[in-house]
Structure 1
Amino acid sequence: MDAKASGGSIRAWLIVAMLFLFMVINFADKAVFGLAAVPMMRDLNLSPREFGLVGSSFFLLFSLSGIGFGFVANRVQSKWLLALLAVVWSAVQFPLVTASVTLPMLIASRVLLGFGEGPAFPLAQHACYKWFDNAHRNVPNTIVQQGASAGLMLAGPILSYLVVRYDWHMAFFALGIVGLVWTALWLVIGRDGPVGAASHATGAAHGGAGETIAYRHLLLNRTFMGVLFIYFVEYAVISLAFTWFPVYLRLGLGYAPIVTGWLFSSIVGSFIPVTLLLAWVSQRLIRKGVSSRIARGAMVSGFAMLGGVLFLATSTGLSPALKVACLAIGGALSQLIFSFGPLMISDIVSVRQRGALLGINSSIGTLAGLIAPALMGGIVQANHGNPALGYEHGFIVVGVLLLASGALGLALLNPEQSRQRILEASRCDAAQSSDNEGSRQRTVSASMDMGPSR
């Protein structure tokens, strides 16, 4: 296998760097809402419930656009789709720069931002896979995924400084400019890789799966369903992270604004080394011949359960510092599905259908973002006499769901078996179709042999 196919070219790693920055901006756009929450709630006179609803409005079109762009990605080059999305993100920031922002304007901006960001992560992964084969995807894919954590980490101190030094409007303006700069660079550097083109006829990493398979077989197999359920739960965690974690640090634990920015940065910064290390371990196991069920599925499931335990621990009598540590480590361990889940999906689907399936998984899974922030807002408002207690009740719900999703993942995630069953089901469909066509032709032939009736 040549260097390009295995991901050894300089161009491949330059694309990874650009996709990493793409995700940095993507999640900084998400984080600004939580980091500017307190002055925004004050200026616009928002209650916790209203703030939670605005946070959830971001996901109103998020899933629909993700599915739509996923199917488009089967036919259109990733370069142009990613550029289009980045332009949309940038454009919707600028209306929030003025002092005349209203609640409807804020909601409209978040809805349109969600439309532009819904397809971003699966399309970035799809673009990354075009430069790396299955045995070499774990680490570059995780680097791209960690752009999300880096975006949240960098957003903490930088955007908090802009909010405190100037005002929250300036933070949105800065993100709009950064998005336009990335787009200009991407139009010069971006390119689709050779792996997708070379594999289009032969299918996913294991070959022999290049034919188009009915989506009912792909969507209803055990591995896809397991990935989808864990993805849903763990996206609830990430949506709470960029919406409510800064507010919890500020109002629940009593930290000052600048300290809150640095603590938030530290929490999401811990995601990066943990997930990169586990991705490296998983890739080593895959290259040594360990099954994807163990090297990817079992790791995702086990660490999701451990993350759930740590979220439950925030409701105990720990000190504020230890509660921050639980959020940091628990959050890091519950992010593996965003790296390993798409890899398991790519194990079971051909490259010609991969973009659509990644888009469907991401779009349905991220519906958690439509629910979780609003639900947390309701829980907090119900405990208005003790804000910290309200947040921690929400973290209990998260912990229980992580435990349940991890246990379900251990039972369901088996890419090797799923791939085999999908191929068998596809062959049965083909045989049934052939039998039906043969029967139809025999009927027509018999009718012709009988001649016209007298």
Structure 2
Amino acid sequence: MSEAQGSGLNIAHAAPVQASRSRRWVIVASLFLFMVINFADKAVVGLVAVPLMHDMQLTHAQFGLVGSAFFLLFSLSGVGLGLFVDRVDVKWLLAGLALTWAVAQLPLAWPVSFAVLLACRVLLGAGEGPAAAFALHVAYTWFDDRERNLPTTFIQLGATSGVIIAGPLLTWVTGRWDWHAAFLALGVVGVLWTLLWLCVGKTGNAGRGTAGDSASAMPHHHVPAPRVAVDPRTRVSYRRLLADRTVIGVLLQCFVGYAVIAIGLTWVPAYFRVGLGFDATQAGNLFGLQVATQIPVGIALAVFSHRLLKRGVTTRRARGTLISVACVVSGIAYCMLYSGASPLAKVGLLSVAFALASQVFTFGPLLIAEIAPTAQRGALLAITNSIVTTAGLIGPVSMGKLLGVAGDHVGYETGFAIAGALLILTGIAGFALLDPQRSRQNLQTAA
């Protein structure tokens, strides 16, 4: 073959590779928007809590039930659809989920009964149950294991951005019209994203032939431990997967983390108004600012972890230890709300605590995807996500009951302190349990 012919073949080969690299970031950007809508949908009830409770004459306990109703079918739909995600085209599953969100929001654009409000939140929860896991699963079909930190963080920051955008924007919409208009806006946005995804959505085929999907992601000298080649069709019983030490550690941290997220989305805006004395506009802006803290924190931890991996640090240290430290620090910050700090200082403590606790949803899926057999990765991501999100049933309604006893700032801060203590405990447990290298060896033996 002549040099010219060889050069022509190299150029022809480089073109589709470059196109594939560009396409995968288009997918990530679309999934980022998917998560923006996902969390705006979650946050809207908390943002309109005061006028909604006033208009519908709801008690704290009833509003806590509204927050928890969202999670009634959340976990069940995650498990049910998760068992099929590796067997069907996820493009159509994501489109169906987004359309379900829109259908659940639109009835609330008009006056409704308490029963209809509950039903719409239950339907929304059923549609959002597997959403985060499926979005990450699609991204992981485009990136090998050691390339996943940044796309995972970017997609998860869509959740952060959804709350940031929802805070001031939906507060403005509610003030300009009423709280029903906020639900109408979210329903329309859900339909628009569905149309976008049908145009650009697609799965990739990265990492089909190695355990952990990472053997080809980096030069050999950067890989701290040898990885055993495995048939991508290899399967391990789900009982064995769920009993693995790393999976248990992720479940513990993410369960408590999700309780914190659910409480935050449902009750923090009300805490800013009732507990700390801010007006509606200030509360909406501060809530968005608090959630925005996740962006620099999430990016910093993802970049730091990625650099550790490039230096040859094991994923046990670069991911497991790092997220466990974050849980402990977050828990301490929540407990410090009991101090006699000023309202703005308490907003700062909440921002740090919330940002660090939220990182379990970046590092948890990374650890799960690292050890899961390729053929079961999507299902295991969905199943573990469904298990931990049952915390959403417990968190908001528990806080509502607590506030029924002590409705001022003391009640709120007691609930946050309890969550903080649990974060500290799960962080300590993570130091011992999160060991993906050992888990991968054990699961390979079982396979």
What's the TM-score once normalised by structure 2's chain length?
0.92
- Corresponding letter in the other structure for 1:422: L
- Find the aligned partners of 2:93 and 2:65 in 1 and give their Cα distance: 29
How far apart in 2 are the matches of 1:320 and 1:114?
33
* 1:30 alignment counterpart: 42
Q: Does 1:187 align with 2:234?
A: no
Q: CA 1:300/1:35 → structure 2, altered by over 3 Å: closer, same or farther?
A: same
Whole-angstrom distance in 2 between the partners of 1:148 and 1:31: 10
1:41-60 aligned within 5 A: 41-60=53-72
Greater radius of gyration (CA): 1
- Tell me what 1:140 maps to: 151
Q: What does residue range 109-258 of structure 1 map to in structure 2 within 5 Å?
A: 109-195=120-206, 199=208, 204-205=213-214, 206=227, 207-208=229-230, 210=232, 211-258=234-281
Number of the residue aligned with 1:81? 93
Q: Secondary structure at the match of 2:445?
A: helix
- How far the C-alpha of 1:98 sits from its partner, in A, is 1.0
| Structure 1 contact 209–423 (Cα < 8 Å) conserved | no
The Cα shift of 1:3 comes to 9.7
**SS of structure 2 residue aligned to 1:334:** helix
CA displacement 1:405-454 (0-9 Å, x = unmatched): 1000111000000110112233xxxxxxxxxxxxxxxxxxxxxxxxxxxx
- Does 1:367 find its partner at 2:387? no
* Residues in 2 aligned to 1:2 and 1:36: alpha-carbon distance in whole angstroms: 51
- Structure 2 distance, partners of 1:203, 1:2, is 26
- Relative distance call for 1:300 and 1:56 in structure 2 (3 A) is same
Identify if the C-alpha distance between structure 1 residues 2 and 309 changes in structure 2 by more than 3 Å, giving closer, same or farther: farther
> Does the 8 Å CA contact 1:218/1:422 hold for their aligned counterparts?
yes
Q: Following the alignment from structure 1 to structure 2, what is the Cα–Cα distance between the partners of residues 4 and 403?
A: 48
**Aligned partner letter, 2:167:** G
From 10, 16, 21, the counterpart of 1:9: 21
The reply to whether residue 403 of structure 1 matches residue 414 of structure 2 is no
Deviation digits for residues 112-146 of structure 1, max 9, x if unmatched?
00000000000000001011111111001110011
Q: Say if 1:226 and 1:412, in contact at 8 Å, map to a contact too.
A: yes
Greater mean alpha carbon deviation, residues 198-207 or residues 136-145: 198-207
SS in 1 for 2:143: coil
* AA at the equivalent of 2:109: V
Q: Which residue of 1 aligns with 2:437?
A: 416
1:311-350 residue pairs with structure 2 within 5 A? 311-350=334-373
Letter in 1 for 2:366: L
Amino acid at match of 1:395: F
Query: Structure 2 CA distance, aligned partners of 1:420 and 1:283?
Result: 23
* 2:331–2:420 contact (8 Å) kept in structure 1: yes
Using the alignment, how far apart are the partners of 1:39 and 1:50 within structure 2?
14
Q: Distance in 2 between matches of 1:3 and 1:419?
A: 35
Q: Please give the alpha-carbon distance, in whole angstroms, between the structure 1 residues aligned to 2:442 and 2:295.
A: 35
- The superposition leaves residues 159-201 of structure 1 with CA deviations (integer Å, 9 ceiling, x where unpaired) of 0001111100000000000010111011001111121xx6068
Q: Which amino acid aligns with 1:122?
A: A
- Secondary structure of residue in 2 paired with 1:72: coil
Contact persistence 1:5–1:131 (CA under 8 A) = no
Deviations 1:89-111 (A, max 9, x none): 00111111112x11000000000
CA distance in 2, matches of 1:3, 1:233: 46
**TM-aligned CA deviation for residue 350 of structure 1:** 1.5
Partner of 1:431: none
Whole-Å Cα distance in 2 between the matches of residues 389 and 7 of structure 1?
A: 56
Shift of the 425–153 alpha-carbon distance from structure 1 to 2, 3 Å rule, reads same
Residue identity opposite 2:95 in structure 1: A
| TM-aligned CA deviation for residue 5 of structure 1 | 8.3
Q: Secondary structure at the match of 2:321?
A: helix
Cα distance in 2, alignment partners of residues 241 and 223 from structure 1: 27
Q: Cα deviations across residues 32-85 of structure 1 (Å, max 9, x unaligned)?
A: 000000000001111111100110010000000011111111111121110000
Tell me the equivalent position of 2:4.
none
CA distance in 2, matches of 1:136, 1:284: 11
- State the match for 1:447 in structure 2: none
Identify unmatched segments of 5+ residues in structure 2.
Answer: 1-12, 215-226
| CA deviation map 1:366-410 (0-9, x unaligned) | 1110000000001111113xx111100101101100000100011
The SS at the match of 1:38 is helix
User: 1:96·1:106 contact (CA, 8 Å) conserved in 2?
Assistant: yes
Number of aligned pairs?
421
Instruction: Supply the AA of the counterpart residue of 1:318.
Output: A
Q: Aligned equivalents of 1:310 and 1:408: distance in 2?
A: 18
Alignment gaps of 5+ in structure 1: 427-454
- The answer to whether the Cα contact below 8 Å between 2:103 and 2:187 also exists between their aligned partners in 1 is yes
Q: How far did 1:202 drift? A: 6.5
Instruction: Tell me the distance in 2 between the aligned counterparts of 1:212 and 1:3.
Output: 35
SS in 2 for 1:289: coil
Could you tell me the TM-score, scaled by structure 1's length?
0.90
Among all aligned residue pairs of Structure 1 and Structure 2, give the percentage whose two residues are the same amino acid.
Answer: 48
Query: Amino acid of the residue matched to residue 349 of structure 1?
Result: A
Structure 2 distance, partners of 1:95, 1:63, is 23
Deviating more after overlay: 277-286 vs 264-273: 277-286
Structure 1 residues 349, 3: closer, same or farther in 2, change over 3 A?
Answer: farther
Q: 1:396 to 1:334 in 2, by over 3 A?
A: same
